[in-house]
Amino acid sequence: MLAQQLVNGLFIGSVYALFALGYTLIFGVLDILNLAHASIFMLGAFTTLVLVLKGVPLLLAILGGALAGGLLGVLLDRVAFWPLRRRQAGPLAPLISSIAVGMIYVGTANGIFGPDVRHFPFDVVRTPTYTIGPVTFTLAQLTIFIASLALMAGLQLLLRRTRLGAAIRAVAENPRAAQLVGIDLESVYAQTFFIASALGAVAGILFALTFNAVSSVMGSAVELKGLAVIVLGGMGSIPGSLLGGLLIGLSEDLSVAYLSSGYRDAIVFAILFLMLIIRPTGLLGKRGLRTA
Amino acid sequence: MHALTAFYSAHSALINQIGVNALLALSIWVTLACGQLSLGNMGFMAITAYASVLLVLRAHWPFFPAVLAGTGLAAIAGLLLGWPVLRLRGVFLAIATIGFGEIVRIFAVNLSVTGGAEGIAGIPQLASTPIIYSSLALAVFLLWRLTRSRAGRAFAAIAQDEVAAAGLGIDPAAYKLAAFAIGAAIAGYAGALSAFSSFFISPTDYSFGRVVDMLASAVVGGIGSVGGPVLGSILLTLLPETLRFLQNYRDVINGLILLFVIVFLPQGLWSLVDRRRAS
């Protein structure tokens, strides 16, 4: 029983971590809390669903969803944040403009697909089930877990080992100094939004495949939980997102098993609240994105 | 006159809703005026709404004492929440207060006294239009007086630069806590009026989306003065009604307006009114 709960918690926690990575990347680089992230999570899942229903193979459809998410992220930056950057607006304005774009994205999905929950065709999501000792899981769950970890490792490599990664870290450290050494800020911002949003979209796709449900309001299931993840792990820290995501996933499954399913989310938010009061930098936040 | 009463009886629910939403936008405006982005006001709404409804339905209290007791409870909750979180800045404060609001809502879903997910039905319609609008007028007047007072100038100074304000001998913690308590009390009071002007309440009335609506109204109207949040609430409450023909696409228009205002009219729509008056 305990082992099964732990495994379930890790599976869902890895998806939370992947979603929260987008929050934390954008916060680390631009100091913006991007509340449109959950709408891209949802639109990524819808794009993949539409492609699958048109007969595109699942893997290609997932890539399509990630690409669409990335482009929606770049668009978000251009319409919601770029005008405010030029004006050097305070921290409240970008928060609100991200809410506005979130409304537009969710509203568009609601207009096209309606409020109903959609499902993937059964043969697409049907996978073999394995039992190892006391633990049962599906191939899909395992793939999702591995894919999430691989994407996070890939991001970490990109930040540490590539020119783009060095540029992103430099901009996170000090935009003006980065500009002085010849880094094109706008290009770094656009690429950061593409990467963060593509990862958010993949998280949405994996979440949708896990529960075989896609709906225009599915983002609200993770929107606030993602905040708990980055606060717990540390705002701007990538290993922190992973740790936070897994811990939140575990705490959910364990509280359902041993306390009460009704208060599951209350425990998540109590963790968030206490963390902010006791240690606002999070478990791994001190170093932040600057050292990746 | 007859046309007027006919108009009122056809639209009284909407008219009440505008008044309640204006109070809610003012509740978030108070903390914004002090530079604090507090997003837990749906939690205060819920506390007062449930407390006053239960006092009326179960303990048979009269309307006003019940609402005032509930409002006091929200103000105390505001102080208790404000005390630990006020050292957090910007988005961290926002996230902590969102967490508070969600915890309140989850308790409302799970407790039996609040009726769980189904909520409480059969609430008497005690918050009439005159009560709602005289409350709004009083709140606008008091907040307007506040902005002209020593405390109001302290709020503005803290919003500008907290460290500099402290250097001028202002105690930021005390004023921030006061703004928190006032905002909580107004949000709670509005929550009670909202409960007593609809037939039932349930936890979904107090979700994160609720505080997003308050914030949008305050920002679209403009946070530079008391008039802004009222103007924003009128617009954003009426808009969905006039856009019914768009059906599921309605949120797109709301989002576009919010985006347009934040990008092109950073001081909100009220700045247009003010500019005309100045010239």
Give the whole-angstrom CA distance, residue A155 versus residue B10.
Answer: 57
Which residues from B are below 8 Å from A262, CB to CB? 106, 109-110
Q: Which of B39, B104, B106, B220 to mutate to test the interface with A (most CBs of A within 10 A)?
A: B106
Mean pLDDT (whole number) for A141-152:
88
**A287 assigned to some structural domain:** no
Interchain CB contact of A111 with B (< 8 Å):
yes
**What's residue A123's pLDDT?**
80
**A227 assigned to some structural domain:** no
A47-93 tens-digit pLDDT: 999 999 999 999 999 999 999 999 999 999 999 999 999 888 777 88
Between chain A and chain B, how many beta carbons pairs sit less than 8 Å apart?
Answer: 130
Q: Kindly state the helix (H) or strand (E) to which residue A185 belongs, with its residue range.
A: helix A185-211
Burial of A161 (0-12, 13-18, 19+ CB in 10 A): exposed
Which residues from B are below 8 Å from A105, CB to CB? 255
Give the whole-angstrom CA distance, residue B36 versus residue A92.
Answer: 10
Which residues from B are below 8 Å from A95, CB to CB? 37, 91, 94
Q: What are phi and psi of B34, to 5 degrees?
A: -100, 10
Give the whole-angstrom CA distance, residue A16 versus residue A33.
Answer: 17
**What's residue A58's pLDDT?**
92
Interchain CB contact of A187 with B (< 8 Å):
no
Residues of B with CB under 8 A from a CB of A: 32, 37, 84-85, 88, 90-92, 94-96, 98-100, 102-103, 106-107, 109-110, 208, 212, 215-216, 219, 246-256, 258-259, 262-263, 266
Residue B279, pLDDT > 80, answer: no
Q: Which amino acid is located at B214 in the chain?
A: M
**What's residue B277's pLDDT?**
61
Residue A1, pLDDT > 80, answer: no
**A257 assigned to some structural domain:** no
- For residue A284, give the nearest of A41, A95, A20, A35 by alpha carbon: A20
Q: Collapse the DSSP code of A54 into the 3-class scheme (helix H, G, I; strand E, B; otherwise coil) and give the result.
A: coil
A233-290 tens-digit pLDDT: 888 888 889 999 999 999 988 888 787 778 888 888 998 889 888 888 888 865 555 5
Give the whole-angstrom CA distance, residue A208 versus residue A50.
Answer: 13
Residue A34 sits at the vertex; the CA angle it makes with A168 and A227, to the nearest 5 degrees, is 100
Interchain CB contact of A173 with B (< 8 Å):
no
Task: Please tell me which of the candidates A33, A262, A272 has its beta carbon nearest to residue B91.
Answer: A33
- In chain A, the percentage of residues whose pLDDT exceeds 90 is 55
Domain span holding position B231: 2-278
- In chain B, the percentage of residues whose pLDDT exceeds 70 is 98
Q: Based on the structure, what is the number of domains in chain A?
A: 1
A198-208 tens-digit pLDDT: 999 999 999 99
- Dihedral-angle region of residue A50 (phi above 0 means left; psi in -120 to 50 means alpha; beta otherwise): alpha
Output B246 or A70, whichever has higher pLDDT: A70
Do residues A261 and A50 make contact, with C-beta atoms less than 8 angstroms apart? no
For A280, the token pair is 């606002």
Those residues whose C-beta lies under 8 Å from the C-beta of residue B139, and which sit 6 or more positions away, are B23, B26, B186
Give the position of tokens 């430099």.
Answer: A170
**CATH number of residue B79's parent domain:** 1.10.3470
Do residues A251 and A12 make contact, with C-beta atoms less than 8 angstroms apart? no
Task: Please tell me which of the candidates B85, B249, B250 has its beta carbon nearest to residue A277.
Answer: B85
Q: Of B62-71, B159-168, B196-205, give the lowest mean pLDDT range.
A: B159-168
Q: What are phi and psi of A130, to 5 degrees?
A: -115, 150
**A162 assigned to some structural domain:** yes
Those residues whose C-beta lies under 8 Å from the C-beta of residue B90, and which sit 6 or more positions away, are A91, B37
Which residues from A are below 8 Å from B95, CB to CB? 33, 227, 231, 272, 276
Do residues B121 and B199 make contact, with C-beta atoms less than 8 angstroms apart? yes
Q: How far is CA B54 from the centre of its chain?
A: 21
**A93 assigned to some structural domain:** yes
CA dihedral (B256, B262, B267, B270) in degrees, to 10, reads: 10
Which residues from A are below 8 Å from B98, CB to CB? 224, 227
Do residues B70 and B48 make contact, with C-beta atoms less than 8 angstroms apart? yes
Give the whole-angstrom CA distance, residue A82 versus residue A92.
Answer: 14
**Cβ atoms within 10 Å of B260's Cβ, excluding its own:** 13
Domain span holding position A81: 2-218
- For residue B82, give the nearest of B153, B215, B173, B161 by alpha carbon: B173
CB contact under 8 A, A96 and B216: yes
Q: What are phi and psi of A18, to 5 degrees?
A: -60, -40
Beta pairing, strands A129-132 & A135-138: antiparallel
**What's residue A292's pLDDT?**
47
Report the mean per-residue pLDDT for chain B. 91
**A235 assigned to some structural domain:** no
User: Which residue of chain B is at minimal alpha-carbon distance from A101?
Assistant: B255
B3-49 tens-digit pLDDT: 778 888 878 889 999 999 999 999 999 999 999 999 999 999 999 99
Q: Based on the structure, what is the number of domains in chain B?
A: 1
Report the mean per-residue pLDDT for chain A. 89
CB contact under 8 A, A277 and B266: no
Which residues from B are below 8 Å from A100, CB to CB? 216, 255-256, 258-259, 262
Mean pLDDT (whole number) for A16-44:
93
The model's pTM is 0.91
Mean pLDDT (whole number) for B113-127:
92
Interchain CB contact of A133 with B (< 8 Å):
no
**What's residue B130's pLDDT?**
94
Give the whole-angstrom CA distance, residue A57 versus residue A124.
Answer: 9
